[in-house]
């Protein structure tokens, strides 16, 4: 599968699959070992291995999600003890959602943030992956360097950008000022604050799309490219009609992964703008955080979260349909 | 472009206070360890230890529980494989806030708020699925013929798993464990909400320097550097496997 090229275990899988795909040659030999059926005791052993994980997963993920669903039907507010277990108007939170302007605003901010970051990350990732793919010798060293923004603790990334955006200490804003250019304080300007977040987010996560696309590019067979070159196709046409269709699944999957992650955006917003100025950078996730832990409207925020969880679940399901649960070879 | 912001933070952490605010930036200055020393005298030290304890424990726990499950999923062709995988992937993908609200309420009731076990348990939500997801691809890549040969020689499923498959998967195990450690170490959101003072972790402690102590940039930079230090070291160690870990049901606390 394109995600994990050039790792030894995957190559082993590939060998196995190649063996399977040559049935005529192999027919003389006994059936491959892995098709052997498992005995009862072996099946039981496997189920036993799976059990602790399932039990823990049920306790820490499934049960809390159900609990979340239940609280979303109550007006739970920790400052008002009466609201615990009050199911008299179960859908009140959801009808409130339909009218809540601030929630609608948060959805709109979310859409802007997600669209901008995902598309910019795909573009930047693709551009750099194409560059790195040409100079293969140069590649290993570069890869590690490019990985750094992605592996840094998100909080450190946020601090780094806070420094770069704070007029008193920012070397970038100083440089702009001394060149006589306008150097606005990005994170306090309502028109620019969201772009400040987008810039930092793209910096943090373009390595992810780059890696996924680079892996896909390296899986690409040479033959169609050579053939097209012989037919006199230019670089641009090669890219458009051969490279792009080949990496389309990788583009889609990395875009989806980033889309899901963009719904969780938190540390950057918390540190850089705190959702402000006003509510211009208040994405849905952040709005839930404020409703739940600043205002203590836990019932209402549960309802918003249920909506978010449904969205991420659908996106995960979409990814699963493309990638499948097993490592697959195209 | 990529590295500049990163190095700027590093250099700020060793720059004397009076130089941080001076422009044009002084590029030649006498490096100082003052910020680090000052930092280590505050509660930051305890937070740093908290982070280490929580990350190591949750890593061990999720490895012990998750690795056999990954092996079983890889080998047994369970009928509900697809549904199980979707569940595991979506619990990895779910927004942290979805777990935070119910856990916050339950912890309030169980008195687990602001405790290390509380954090260790909630980190299982993402680490366990990560272990299963990642180790499964490693196990899928180890040939079955090995353990089948051992079975013929009379080894049990458990015996062949322990003595043949696990040693073979050592690099995968190491890489997966480091990822668990990193994701727990990097977490900010859960720790922000579920801890107050006693069990505050390092990332939250650094952010608190921003809020209460009047923007001591030197200290903030030093704290940030301390928080990213283990991450950078470990990432270099598992460089080869980074790609798989970071793409296996990606990231982010």
Contact flag B25-A45 (C-beta cutoff 8 Å):
no
A37-49 confidence digits (pLDDT tens): 677 888 888 889 9
B153-165 mean pLDDT:
85
Q: Is residue A330 part of a domain?
A: no
d(CA B82, CA A317): 10
* Portion 34-53 of B in contact with A at CB < 8 A: none
Q: Is residue A230 part of a domain?
A: yes
Select the residue from A202, A273, A325 to test the B interface by mutation, using most B Cβ atoms within 10 A: A325
- Is B127 an interface residue toward A (CB < 8 Å)? no
**Is the ipTM of this structure higher than 0.90?**
no
A286-313 confidence digits (pLDDT tens): 999 999 999 989 999 999 999 999 988 8
d(CA A186, CA A163): 12
Q: What percent of chain B has pLDDT over 70?
A: 89
Other beta carbons less than 10 A from residue A54's beta carbon: 16
Most trustworthy range by pLDDT among A274-288, B47-61, B87-101, B202-216 = B47-61
Residues of A in contact with B100 (CB under 8 A): 292
The more confidently predicted of residues A3 and B176 is B176
Distance from CA of B31 to the nearest CA of A (A): 18
Contact flag B98-A215 (C-beta cutoff 8 Å):
no
Select the residue from A13, A307, A316, A320 to test the B interface by mutation, using most B Cβ atoms within 10 A: A316
Is the separation of the CB atoms in A205 and A262 below 8 Å?
Answer: no
What is the CATH classification number for the domain harbouring A164?
1.10.3720.10
CA angle, residues B210, A117, A285, in degrees to nearest 5: 55
- Is B134 an interface residue toward A (CB < 8 Å)? no
Residues of A in contact with B219 (CB under 8 A): none
Is the separation of the CB atoms in B205 and B43 below 8 Å?
Answer: yes
Q: How confident is the model at residue A141 (pLDDT cuts 50, 70, 90)?
A: low
The more confidently predicted of residues A98 and B251 is A98
Residue A99 has pLDDT above 80, yes or no: yes
Reading the block at residue A243, the tokens are 């490279």
- Which letter does DSSP use for residue A75 in this model? -
A187-201 mean pLDDT:
91
pTM, to two decimals: 0.83
d(CA A24, CA A260): 45
Select the residue from B107, B134, B247, B249 to test the A interface by mutation, using most A Cβ atoms within 10 A: B247
CATH topology (fold) of B43-247: MetI-like fold (1.10.3720)
A122-147 mean pLDDT:
79
Q: How confident is the model at residue A323 (pLDDT cuts 50, 70, 90)?
A: low
Residue A278 has pLDDT above 80, yes or no: yes
Q: Is residue A124 part of a domain?
A: yes
Select the residue from B52, B88, B95 to test the A interface by mutation, using most A Cβ atoms within 10 A: B95
Distance from CA of A199 to the nearest CA of B (A): 12
Q: Is residue A214 part of a domain?
A: yes
Considering only CB atoms, A53 lies closest to which of B65, B98, B125, namely: B65
pLDDT at A231: 86
Residues of B in contact with A292 (CB under 8 A): 97, 100-101, 104
For A140, residues 6+ apart whose C-beta sits below 8 A from its C-beta are none
pLDDT at A81: 79
Q: Which residues of A132-157 are buried (b: 16+ CB within 10 A; e: fewer)?
A: bbeeeeeeeebbeebbbbbbbbbbbb
Nearest to A328, CA basis, from B80, B137, B215: B137
How many CB pairs below 8 A link A and B?
Answer: 285
Question: In terms of CA atoms, which chain B residue is nearest residue A6?
Answer: B240
Reading the block at residue B145, the tokens are 């013929």
Residue B253 has pLDDT above 50, yes or no: no
Contact flag B138-A289 (C-beta cutoff 8 Å):
no
The residue extents of the domains of chain B are 43-247
B15-71 confidence digits (pLDDT tens): 887 777 666 666 667 777 888 888 888 888 999 999 999 999 999 999 999 999 999
- Which letter does DSSP use for residue B113 in this model? T
pLDDT at B178: 87
* Portion 140-199 of B in contact with A at CB < 8 A: 140-145, 148, 151, 156-158, 161, 172, 182, 185-186, 188-189, 192-193
Domain with A138 in it: 100-296
Number of domains in chain A: 1
Q: Considering Cα of A303, then A308, then A312, then A315, what sign does the dihedral take?
A: positive
The more confidently predicted of residues A3 and A42 is A42
Residues of B in contact with A36 (CB under 8 A): 148
Distance from CA of A16 to the nearest CA of B (A): 8
Residue A33 has pLDDT above 60, yes or no: no
Contact flag B210-A309 (C-beta cutoff 8 Å):
no
Residue A69 has pLDDT above 50, yes or no: yes
For A164, residues 6+ apart whose C-beta sits below 8 A from its C-beta are A170, A171, A172, A173, B5, B8
Residue A80 pairs in a beta bridge with A77
Is the separation of the CB atoms in B147 and B161 below 8 Å?
Answer: yes
């Amino acid at each position: 599968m394109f995600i994990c090229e050039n790792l030894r275990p995957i190559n082993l899988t590939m060998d196995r699959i190649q063996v399977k795909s040559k049935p005529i040659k192999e027919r003389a030999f006994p059936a491959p070992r892995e098709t052997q059926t498992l005995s009862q005791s072996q099946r039981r052993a496997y189920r036993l291995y799976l059990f602790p994980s399932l039990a823990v997963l049920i306790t820490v993920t499934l049960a809390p999600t159900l609990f979340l669903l239940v609280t979303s039907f109550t007006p739970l507010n920790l400052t008002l003890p009466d609201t615990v277990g009050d199911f008299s108007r179960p859908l009140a939170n959801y009808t409130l959602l339909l009218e809540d302007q601030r929630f609608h605003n948060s959805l709109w901010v979310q859409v802007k943030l997600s669209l901008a970051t995902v598309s910019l990350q795909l573009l930047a990732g693709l551009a750099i992956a194409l560059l790195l793919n040409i100079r293969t010798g140069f590649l290993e060293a570069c890869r590690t360097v490019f990985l750094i923004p992605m592996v840094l603790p998100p909080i450190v990334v946020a601090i780094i950008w806070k420094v770069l955006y704070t007029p008193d200490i920012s070397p970038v804003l100083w440089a702009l000022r001394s060149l006589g250019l306008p150097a606005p304080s990005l994170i306090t300007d309502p028109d620019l604050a969201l772009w400040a977040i987008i810039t930092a987010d793209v910096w943090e996560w373009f390595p992810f799309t780059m890696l996924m696309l680079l892996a896909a590019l390296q899986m690409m067979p040479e033959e169609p490219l050579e053939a097209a070159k012989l037919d006199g196709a230019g670089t641009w046409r090669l890219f458009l009609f051969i490279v792009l269709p080949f990496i389309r699944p990788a583009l889609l999957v990395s875009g989806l992964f980033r889309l899901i992650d963009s719904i969780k955006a938190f540390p950057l917003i918390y540190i850089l703008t705190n959702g402000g100025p006003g509510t211009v950078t208040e994405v849905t996730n952040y709005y839930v955080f404020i409703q739940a832990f600043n205002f203590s409207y836990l019932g209402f925020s549960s309802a918003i979260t249920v909506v978010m969880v449904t969205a991420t679940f659908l996106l995960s399901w979409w990814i699963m349909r493309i990638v499948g649960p097993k490592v697959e070879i195209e | 472009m990529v590295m500049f912001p990163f190095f700027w933070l590093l250099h700020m952490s060793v720059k004397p206070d009076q130089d941080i605010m001076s422009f044009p930036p002084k590029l030649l200055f006498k490096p100082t360890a003052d910020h680090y020393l000052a930092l280590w005298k505050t509660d930051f030290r305890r937070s740093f230890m908290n982070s280490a304890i929580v990350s190591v424990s949750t890593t061990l726990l999720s490895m012990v529980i998750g690795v056999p499950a990954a092996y079983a999923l890889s080998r047994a062709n369970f009928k509900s494989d697809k549904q199980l995988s979707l569940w595991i992937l979506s619990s990895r993908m779910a927004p942290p806030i979805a777990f935070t609200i119910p856990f916050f309420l339950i912890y309030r009731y169980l008195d687990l708020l602001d405790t290390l076990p509380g954090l260790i348990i909630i980190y299982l939500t993402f680490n366990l699925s990560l272990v299963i997801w990642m180790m499964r691809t490693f196990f899928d890549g180890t040939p079955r013929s090995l353990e089948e040969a051992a079975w013929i020689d009379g080894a049990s499923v458990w015996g062949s798993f322990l003595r043949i498959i696990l040693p073979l998967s050592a690099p995968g195990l190491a890489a997966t464990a480091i990822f668990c450690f990193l994701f727990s170490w990097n977490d900010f959101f859960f720790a922000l909400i579920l801890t107050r003072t006693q069990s505050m972790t390092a990332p939250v402690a650094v952010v608190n320097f921003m809020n209460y102590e009047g923007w001591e940039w030197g200290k903030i930079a030093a704290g940030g550097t301390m928080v990213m230090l283990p991450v950078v070291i470990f990432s270099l160690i598992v460089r080869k496997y980074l790609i798989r870990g970071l793409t296996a049901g990606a990231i982010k606390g």
